[in-house]
Amino acid sequence: MSTGSAHARETASIAEASEEAPAGEPTPRARRGRPGYDRAQVLEIAVRLFNEQGYDATSVSSLAAELGLSKAALYHHFASKEQILEIALDDALGGLESVLDGALADEGTAATRLVTVIAGAVRVLTSRLPQVTLLLRVHGNSEIERAALERRRIFDQRVAHLVGQAQQEGALRRDIRPSVTTRLMFGMINSIIEWYRPAHTSLTPEELVDDVTRVIFDGLRAR
């Protein structure tokens, strides 16, 4: 996971550097004259292509073409398309698991920990949108994808367990099953990848954290 975090920092700094260009739009001209791509840039562009075209539909050739690299140059950075997928999925899952591990290591009630998990998950989604988007679209067509789905399942179970504890504490309503509560909660959180585009809205990630937390705990009803 420390590798995952280091990589996340690299990705974040690249995202900041290229903020002028709208996300998802190829910028071949801007790339001309650059000495080449580093590993993190190749990863970023690969993940964007996977999300746009689908992982299965994206060939190493089309990725090399998009980068303007030979396949050999691409293989200098990554052993395979599968390796790129694995790293990106690990980045998303590692981020979510770190949030949960941190929250569970905290002192405090289950309800407090759950707030920490929700806020942390929203932050992971907003800061690693492409990687989480890839994760949420995985359908289990390969070993790597099935392993990622299994990690998601374990994550969901651990959160559902925490929801159950918060219900037993009396902090959360008990008339909805913990598994359903967890599904609905993450349904709301995960939907962020579908519509939240930090570059195109005045809604900051931290405002989104607040909005999501308030809706999940207190609902929409005025009080």
Residues forming the site for its own copies (CB under 8 A) = 54, 56-57, 163, 167, 170-177, 180-181, 183-192, 194-195, 203, 208, 211-212, 214-223
The CB-of-207 to its own copies minimum distance in angstroms stands at: 9
Q: Are 40 and 14 in contact (CB under 8 A)?
A: yes
CB of 189 to its own copies, least distance (A): 8
Measured from the CB atom, the residue of 87 and 163 that comes closer to its own copies is 163
Q: Which residues contact 85 (CB under 8 A, 6 or more apart)?
A: 50, 55, 134, 144, 145
**φ, ψ (nearest 5 deg) of residue 5:** -65, -40
Instruction: Closer to its own copies by CB, 38 or 211: give it.
Output: 211
Smaller CB separation from its own copies, 77 or 128: 128
Distance in angstroms (rounded) separating the CA atoms of residues 132 and 217: 24
Task: Find the shortest distance in angstroms from Cβ 106 to its own copies.
Answer: 19
Whole-number CA gyration radius for the chain: 19
Burial class (CB in 10 A: 0-12, 13-18, 19+), 95: buried
User: Closest distance between its own copies and the C-beta of residue 66, in Å?
Assistant: 18
Q: Return the number of the residue (5 or 201) whose C-beta is nearest its own copies.
A: 201
Query: What is the identity of the amino acid at 23?
Result: A
* For its own copies, the closer CB: 19 or 169: 169
Residues in CB range of 36: below 8 A, 6 or more apart = 69, 73
The residue among 187, 186, 182, 183 whose CA lies nearest residue 172 is: 182
Least distance (Å) from its own copies to the CB of residue 200?
Answer: 13
Q: Mention every residue, 6+ apart, whose C-beta is less than 8 A from residue 114.
A: 103, 159, 162, 163, 166, 172
Nearer to its own copies, 32 or 173 (CB): 173
Q: Report in angstroms how near the CB of residue 139 gets to its own copies at its nearest.
A: 8
